[in-house]
Structure 1
Amino acid sequence: MIRLLLVALSLVSLGGCTGLDTLRQASKPNDLYLLTPKSTFSSSLPRVQKQIVVQEPTATAAVNTDQIAIQPTPLQVQYLPRARWVDRAPLIVQALLVESYENSGKVAAVGRSTVGLRADYVIVPDLREFQGLVVSDVENTKTIRVEVRMNIKIIDEFDDKIIASDSFREYIVSASDQTPDLVKAFDEALGKTMRDAVEWSVGKINAHAANNPR
């Protein structure tokens, strides 16, 4: 009986160790990654004495996540293991767009739609692409092209109508298939997309405000 009891206790102990190892593996933290706002713009960008609100971008379920999306094929979406954005991609893009407008120094005031700012114009983004696409896979070495595409609509809040709409996209080939290089490619592609979107929208708002004085 004593021998049987000792065997049973040893099995319980081994089972407990296995469970702890699994728990430790599952509890390893993910690496979190930031992206940066744009801070350099054309010197000819006009200044607009208007208040702008940036809405949270709409996005598909594949993009509306804090996971970093990679497409092995055009019809398949996977996510990088043990790596995350610091927030959902649309929220990151919204915050960085606000910072980019502020960094331009050409807008009287800008904020997110959640702060209750009374806006003259509303920026409505649609984040249509925000992923890496595997464009070649030779001898286990993957070439990944990061794709960012965003549609921007500008709404005149006074007349409640869209005054302009356009799409902006950038493709950047990552230096490698390693996560740090992929994040750098995301940052570069998003930065160029935001720069083009900010410059275009400031120009459109300036022209519309000049033709519709209030």
Structure 2
Amino acid sequence: MIRSQRFAPLAALVLLAGCAAIGGPKTEVSIYSPQTGIQADPAWPAVDWQLTVGTPDTHALLDSQRIAVRPSPDRLQTYKGARWADTAPEMVQLALVEAFEDSGKIQAVSRWGGGRGDFGLYTDLRAFETVYEGGSPKVVVEIQARLVKHRGNGGLVAARRFRTEVTPGGADIEPVVAAFGDALSAIGADIVGWSLVEGQKSLREPAEESAEK
């Protein structure tokens, strides 16, 4: 299922009272929430196990509601007057949970803390930013993922790094936010397909080994 809205400012303007309280000018901040959605690949296996998705680990700047932009390779800044509705890790976690739900290929999926699934998906958010190269922006999302089996003998099933780059329709914040939604959708689909395949493979291998003995 693909949600029709590309991006949504949750509140057109949020007046930060902290500045006004000390007599300074009010700061106008727009709050954004990128919209995501995936189309299930018919080749993905339908599974009868449950998955728990953890909150991604990341560095301090990304673990916030600030929207990161890298004007040069060694400079990481944030967009003035714009914020995410949640922190970047929380948005990525929600996008992944919704991607698994939208796939229709899994019995149940939940955020970490909402129950313990047969498998756990743990991630590190390596990049969630706009990068400028040659004066043009591109949105970069990079995630290191680990699929861990909770039941049986448990342990690491598979690990892989995923990276998606999307060129926005312009340098303004609105097309940049829309590009973040596209990037989250693309990387979410990649992680869903990989997790379903690797999880099923890990369940088949012990059965195949037993049959050979």
TM-score w.r.t. the length of structure 1 is: 0.82
Q: Give, in whole Å, the separation in 1 of the partners of 2:175 and 2:66.
A: 16
Q: Is the 8 A contact 2:50 2:106 kept in 1?
A: yes
Q: Does 1:187 align with 2:181?
A: yes
Q: Which residue of 2 aligns with 1:132?
A: 130
Matches within 5 A, 1:187-206: 187-206=181-200
Letter in 1 for 2:109: V
Contact 1:131 1:146 in 2 (8 A): yes
Amino acid at match of 2:98: E
Partner of 1:54: 53
Structure-1 separation of matches of 2:195 and 2:185: 15
Specify the alignment match of 1:153 in structure 2: 146
Q: Does 1:102 align with 2:85?
A: no
1:85-124 alignment, distance < 5 Å: 85-115=84-114, 117-124=115-122
Hey, what's the Cα distance between the residues in 2 that align with 1:43 and 1:160?
28
1:25 is matched with which residue?
A: 25
The residue aligned with 1:3 is none
The C-alpha deviation readout for 1:138-190, integer Å capped at 9, x for no partner, is: xxxxx111111111100011223111001111111222110001111111112
**Which residue of the partner structure matches residue 164 of structure 2?**
170
Find the aligned partners of 2:116 and 2:34 in 1 and give their Cα distance. Answer: 28
TM (normalized to structure 2)? 0.83
Aligned pair count reads 188
Structure 2 counterpart of 1:70 = 69
1:33-78 superposed Cα distances (whole Å, 9 cap, x missing partner)? 1123333121121111101000000111121111100011111111
Q: Percent identity?
A: 27
Q: Give 1:118 shift.
A: 2.5
CA RMSD of aligned residues (A): 1.9
Larger radius of gyration: 1
Q: Distance in 2 between matches of 1:123 and 1:212?
A: 21
Q: After superposition, what is the alpha-carbon deviation per residue over 1:102-122, rounded to whole angstroms, capped at 9, x for unaligned?
A: 11111111100121x121100
Letter in 2 for 1:197: I
Runs of 4+ residues over 6 Å off in structure 1: none
State yes or no: 1:210 paired with 2:204. yes
Does the residue aligned with 2:36 lie in a helix, a strand or coil? coil
User: Aligned to 1:107, what secondary structure does the other structure show?
Assistant: coil
Please tell me whether the aligned partners of residues 148 and 169 of structure 1 are also in contact (alpha carbons under 8 angstroms): yes
Partner residue, 1:10: none
Asked if the contact 2:38–2:188 (Cα under 8 Å) also holds between the matched residues in 1, the reply is: no
Could you list the runs of 5+ residues in structure 2 that have no partner in the other structure? 1-18, 208-213
Structure having the higher helix fraction is 1
